[in-house]
């Protein structure tokens, strides 16, 4: 066992190998990282490019910003420069990097400066790092430059250090996934000297930069951040190398972070701090948001802030998750145990004295119950005036509705109480007001309960407590009773309001669940892809209340297969985003990082066997609420599975048809090979014998050989005729004549033909005298009867064959019966299939199995029906019966 463990330890990490394989397929990204502008990143890139070009490496300048530095511009001489794309932006004409030109040129290496740059409106991607990602996916190596202050996770720290808020940011994942990070370092004092000499900015801008950003303390802190981040990247590369090569060494620590966020502004700081902590520990991290299970607390603003936090966390490299529960501490600890988290990161807001006395904060509750876990508490800055989260109270509803409900219920309780008081002196009339509070809480929510409790206390005091019609209370016990009543009313009203809201939440969720269940049931009963798509778009439109389109691939491009409303149309920008979603299998369009100017947000429909289509949802500026987003995700998943199932069903049918065609072709080739070779061999042998020995043969021998030639030629003729007839039937070109046919004459002719073909075989006929004429083709009917008789001769044994014709109402029945072994019940329908041959024949070579199939085709072409019965007589044999519509008048003259 120990040996097995040692062998397992020497195995490379499969995840690391998969990551390495993925990198081999992509282009390599090299990032020149600096602490601040002016350290020489672009200069070093171009210098290195000149050296590689001298060694014969193909390298192209996609975009380089020299910022007016002459020594940097001089390095561009001799390098191929791609023309820039001109874009109109806010009344100005900008020159931007041309991504399509770089993809078409496909050099080995392309230099694209300013990684953190934001593209103008109308570009395919809003950020340049997304352009670079597309280049690397296409297999092109990219060099780029980045300053440390543009990293997303350091944005708040940079603002704290320098006092400058950086607007253009790059997700940390971009730097983490880079194949090579080269640190371009320069001491702060030397950088300041370069700035003063005008080598970084123009002289008029240099003095402002020195006063604001390029201070010695700022540059020192930025240099430290750049050095630390580069060191972390080198450590990551070493760990990856150790894993890929199964080398024992200083493995990364097994830490895993769980980060708790809410909708307040402090949560953004929590995410950034957790990102830096995870980077320092080389640890994966999970960002989680908890929602109440018993009430709806998510306003559109809340959902928008949570979505923004999750997008930020994903850009920084985190996984995100939403969980539902009432006990936040229990849910967090349960998730931490399930995800094997070792540390929990959460924020602590400033709390008032009253809050500290009445409620316990989440960090305090976690610290008392979390055992074996580390807690990292992030506190707010003194200047932090961000949005505070609203308290998770039940929905109060419109205040006007709550006030009217409270006034109405209290007024009714007062009138009923005064009426009772005039008739009977009761000491517990206050219970009526308790009913009023409950009624107001059900109608108006928590606000209605509070207003009703206050109005009930005032009304009860004014109308029922001595001295009446004043707010004065004479007896101390009445004061106590009034206070107790108010407290009970508030508690009861709060519970009633909460139960009402829980019932409303349960109703909304049950409605959504029932809708999804109905959709799933309908989808399960839908076999065709078109029906599934129309069902999906109608369900999606009803759920999100927006235009929905479904596109599927066909003819080398995407096409709209279903839309609701049906008149929804896509413009060029929308179709471009849809194609991107299909090709890259990632969202595009409105609200995404790719072609955000589109009106539609496109999402891929990913089935178990790949992408099956694209769904587009039109946006009008408002994001989807949580319930609509959940319904959208569930419907898209089920639709993808249904379309994948329909596609597989169609492929299965096509495959079955191909297999059936292959079987027919094999049977046909086998039959042709056998049925042509045998008569040809017989004919060839007879002709050869006549040629070589004809003069010495007796007349009887010559007659035998000539008869063999005649029989085998006839057999070949019938075989070729059968093939031609089957071809006519399959092609649909069989057009029988529509003449009046005398069945008796056709039967007699077919019987004589069979007797000539099989001399010595007994064939008995029985034809009724009242047979009507039938409307058909006498030649085809004769061929059918001959095929049936020939089949009976082959498989019917040595006994006689019977042919009967009789009248059955207005129809004519013709039957051919043999007394052979018969046909099993399971094969009665199969005998009319092409190439089907059953049992052993009469000693002659078997046919192609086309005779009965041709017979069925001819009979059906004449408007008749044919079937087989077995056993026929004396519990054996086979009877094949044909039914044809007869004429009104009987034949009458056939004997």
pLDDT: which is higher, 43 or 707: 43
CA distance 547 to 311: 25
The answer to whether 755 and 761 have CB atoms below 8 angstroms apart is yes
Residue that the structure tokens 């006689």 belong to:
800
Predicted local confidence at residue 869, as pLDDT: 86
Predicted local confidence at residue 845, as pLDDT: 44
Segment holding 123, helix H or strand E: none
Predicted local confidence at residue 849, as pLDDT: 59
Return mean pLDDT, the chain. Answer: 77
Instruction: Kindly report the number of other CB atoms within 10 A of residue 371's CB atom.
Output: 6
CA atoms within 13 A on the CB side of 71: 12
Indicate the burial class of 770 (C-beta count within 10 angstroms; 0-12, 13-18, 19 or more). Answer: exposed
CA distance 756 to 888: 35
Indicate the burial class of 440 (C-beta count within 10 angstroms; 0-12, 13-18, 19 or more). Answer: buried
If pLDDT is split at 50, 70 and 90, which confidence band does 497 have? low
H helices within 37-165, ranges in order?
A: 41-54, 70-74, 99-105, 128-137, 155-162
**Mean pLDDT along residues 427-443:** 75
Mean pLDDT lowest among 193-207, 358-372, 413-427, 527-541: 193-207
CA distance 447 to 403: 8
Predicted local confidence at residue 386, as pLDDT: 44
CA distance 62 to 48: 15
If pLDDT is split at 50, 70 and 90, which confidence band does 146 have? very high
If pLDDT is split at 50, 70 and 90, which confidence band does 781 have? confident
- With a cut of 90, say whether residue 145 has pLDDT above it: yes
Segment holding 765, helix H or strand E: strand 763-767
CA distance 570 to 483: 66
Predicted local confidence at residue 30, as pLDDT: 93
If pLDDT is split at 50, 70 and 90, which confidence band does 396 have? very low
Predicted local confidence at residue 4, as pLDDT: 47
Predicted local confidence at residue 387, as pLDDT: 46
**Mean pLDDT along residues 633-654:** 79
pLDDT: which is higher, 60 or 231: 60
Q: CA 851, 853, 854, 857: dihedral to nearest 10 degrees?
A: 160
Percent share of the chain, pLDDT over 90: 7
Indicate the burial class of 178 (C-beta count within 10 angstroms; 0-12, 13-18, 19 or more). Answer: buried
CA distance 641 to 635: 10
Predicted local confidence at residue 480, as pLDDT: 67
- With a cut of 60, say whether residue 586 has pLDDT above it: yes
pLDDT: which is higher, 5 or 214: 214
Predicted local confidence at residue 14, as pLDDT: 61
CA distance 637 to 699: 85
Predicted local confidence at residue 508, as pLDDT: 67
- With a cut of 90, say whether residue 141 has pLDDT above it: yes
Closest among 606, 546, 548, 613 to 579, alpha carbons compared: 613
- With a cut of 60, say whether residue 221 has pLDDT above it: yes
Predicted local confidence at residue 356, as pLDDT: 67
- Ranges of beta strands (E only) in 427-556 are 548-554
CA distance 30 to 145: 8
Report whether the peptide linkage leading into residue 611 is cis, meaning its omega lies within 30 degrees of zero.
no
Quick check: pTM over 0.75? no
Closest among 253, 244, 179, 176 to 14, alpha carbons compared: 244
- With a cut of 90, say whether residue 859 has pLDDT above it: no
Report whether the peptide linkage leading into residue 467 is cis, meaning its omega lies within 30 degrees of zero.
yes
- With a cut of 70, say whether residue 665 has pLDDT above it: no
**Mean pLDDT along residues 438-442:** 74
If pLDDT is split at 50, 70 and 90, which confidence band does 805 have? very high
Q: What angle do CA 326, 328, 332 make, to 5 degrees?
A: 130
Set out the domains of the chain in order of their start, with CATH numbers.
Answer: 14-244 (3.40.50.300), 257-379 (3.40.50.620), 399-502 (no CATH), 734-890 (3.30.565.10)
Eight-state DSSP code of residue 471:
S
Give residue-wise pLDDT tens across range 165-197.
888 888 888 888 888 888 888 888 888 887 777
- With a cut of 90, say whether residue 112 has pLDDT above it: yes
Closest among 282, 353, 270, 252 to 306, alpha carbons compared: 270
Predicted local confidence at residue 397, as pLDDT: 45
What six digits make up the tokens of 808? 């059955």
The answer to whether 844 and 794 have CB atoms below 8 angstroms apart is yes
Predicted local confidence at residue 481, as pLDDT: 64
pLDDT: which is higher, 755 or 509: 755
Distance of CA 389 to the CA centre of its chain: 34
What six digits make up the tokens of 413? 């309780």
């Amino acid at each position: 066992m120990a040996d097995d463990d040692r062998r397992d330890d020497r195995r490379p990490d499969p995840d690391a190998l998969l990551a390495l394989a993925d990198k081999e397929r992509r282009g390599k990204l090299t990032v020149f990282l600096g602490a601040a502008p002016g350290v020489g990143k672009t200069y070093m890139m171009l210098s290195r490019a000149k050296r590689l070009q001298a060694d014969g490496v193909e390298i192209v300048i996609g975009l380089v910003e020299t910022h007016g530095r002459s020594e940097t511009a001089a390095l561009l001489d001799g390098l191929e420069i791609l023309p820039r794309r001109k874009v109109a932006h806010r009344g100005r004409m900008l020159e931007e990097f041309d991504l399509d030109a770089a993809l078409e040129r496909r050099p080995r290496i392309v230099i694209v400066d300013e990684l953190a740059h934001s593209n103008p409106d109308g570009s395919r991607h809003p950020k340049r790092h997304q352009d670079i990602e597309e280049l690397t996916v296409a297999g092109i190596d990219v060099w780029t430059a980045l300053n440390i202050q543009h990293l997303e996770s350091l944005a708040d720290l940079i603002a704290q250090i320098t006092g400058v808020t950086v607007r253009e940011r790059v997700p940390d994942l971009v730097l983490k996934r880079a194949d090579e990070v080269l640190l371009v370092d320069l001491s702060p004092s030397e950088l300041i000297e370069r700035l003063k000499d005008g080598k970084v900015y123009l002289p008029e801008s240099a003095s402002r930069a020195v006063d604001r950003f390029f201070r010695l303390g700022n540059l020192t802190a930025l240099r430290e951040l750049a050095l630390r981040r580069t060191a972390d990247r080198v450590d990551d590369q070493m760990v990856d190398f150790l894993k890929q090569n199964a080398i024992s060494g200083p493995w990364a620590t097994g830490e895993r972070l769980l980060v708790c966020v809410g909708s307040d502004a402090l949560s953004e700081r929590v995410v950034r701090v957790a990102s830096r902590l995870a980077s320092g520990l080389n640890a994966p991290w999970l960002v989680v948001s908890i929602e109440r299970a018993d009430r709806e607390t998510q306003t559109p603003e809340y959902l928008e802030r949570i979505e923004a936090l999750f997008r930020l966390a994903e850009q920084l490299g985190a996984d995100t998750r939403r969980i539902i529960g009432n006990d936040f501490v229990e849910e967090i600890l349960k998730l931490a145990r399930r995800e094997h988290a070792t540390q929990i990161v959460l924020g602590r807001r400033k709390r008032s004295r009253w809050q500290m006395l009445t409620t316990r904060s989440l960090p305090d509750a976690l610290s008392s119950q979390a055992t074996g876990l580390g807690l990292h508490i992030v506190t707010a800055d003194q200047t932090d005036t961000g949005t505070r989260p609203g308290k998770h109270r039940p929905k109060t509803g419109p205040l006007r509705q709550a006030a009217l409900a409270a006034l109405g219920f209290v007024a009714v309780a007062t009138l009923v109480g005064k009426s009772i008081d005039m008739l009977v002196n009761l000491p517990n009339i206050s219970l009526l007001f308790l009913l009023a509070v409950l009624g107001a809480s059900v109608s108006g929510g928590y606000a209605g309960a509070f207003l009703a409790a206050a109005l009930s206390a005032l009304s009860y005091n004014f109308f029922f407590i001595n001295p009446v019609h004043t707010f004065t209370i004479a007896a101390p016990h009445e004061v106590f009773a009034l206070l107790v009543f108010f407290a009970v009313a508030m508690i009861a009203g709060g519970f009633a309001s909460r139960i009402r809201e829980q019932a409303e939440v349960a109703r909304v969720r049950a409605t959504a669940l029932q809708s999804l269940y109905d959709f799933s049931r309908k989808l399960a009963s839908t076999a065709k892809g078109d029906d599934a798509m129309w069902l999906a778009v109608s369900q999606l439109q009803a759920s999100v209340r927006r235009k929905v389109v479904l596109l599927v691939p066909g003819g080398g491009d995407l096409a709209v297969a279903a839309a609701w409303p049906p008149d929804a149309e896509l413009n060029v920008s929308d179709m471009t985003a849809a194609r991107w979603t299909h090709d890259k299998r990632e969202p595009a369009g409105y609200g995404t990082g790719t072609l955000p100017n589109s009106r539609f947000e496109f999402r891929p429909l990913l089935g178990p066997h790949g992408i099956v289509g694209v769904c587009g949802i039109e946006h009008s500026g408002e994001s989807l609420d949580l319930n609509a987003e959940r319904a959208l995700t569930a419907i898209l998943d089920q639709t993808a599975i249904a379309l994948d199932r329909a596609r597989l069903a169609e492929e299965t049918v096509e495959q079955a048809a191909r297999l059936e065609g292959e079987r027919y072709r094999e049977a046909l080739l086998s039959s042709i090979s056998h049925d042509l070779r045998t008569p040809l061999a017989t004919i060839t042998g007879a002709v050869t014998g006549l040629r070589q020995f004809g003069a010495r043969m007796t007349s009887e021998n010559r007659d035998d050989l000539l008869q063999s030639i005649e029989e085998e030629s006839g057999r070949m003729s019938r075989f070729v005729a059968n093939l031609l007839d089957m071809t006519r039937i399959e092609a649909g070109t069989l057009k029988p004549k529509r003449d009046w046919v005398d069945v008796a004459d056709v039967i007699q002719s077919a019987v004589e033909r069979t007797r000539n073909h099989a001399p010595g075989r007994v064939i008995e006929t029985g034809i009724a005298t009242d047979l009507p004429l039938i409307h058909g083709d006498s030649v085809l009917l004769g061929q059918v009867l001959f095929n049936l008789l020939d089949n009976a001769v082959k498989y019917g044994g040595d006994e006689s064959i019977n042919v009967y014709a009789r009248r059955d109402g207005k129809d004519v029945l013709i039957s051919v019966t043999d007394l052979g072994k018969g046909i099993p019940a399971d094969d009665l329908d199969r005998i009319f299939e092409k190439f089907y041959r059953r049992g052993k024949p009469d000693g002659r070579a078997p046919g192609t199995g086309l005779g009965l199939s041709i017979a069925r085709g001819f009979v059906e072409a004449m408007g008749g029906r044919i079937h087989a019965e077995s056993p026929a007589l004396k519990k054996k044999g086979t009877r094949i019966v044909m039914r044809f519509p007869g004429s009104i008048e009987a034949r009458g003259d056939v004997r």
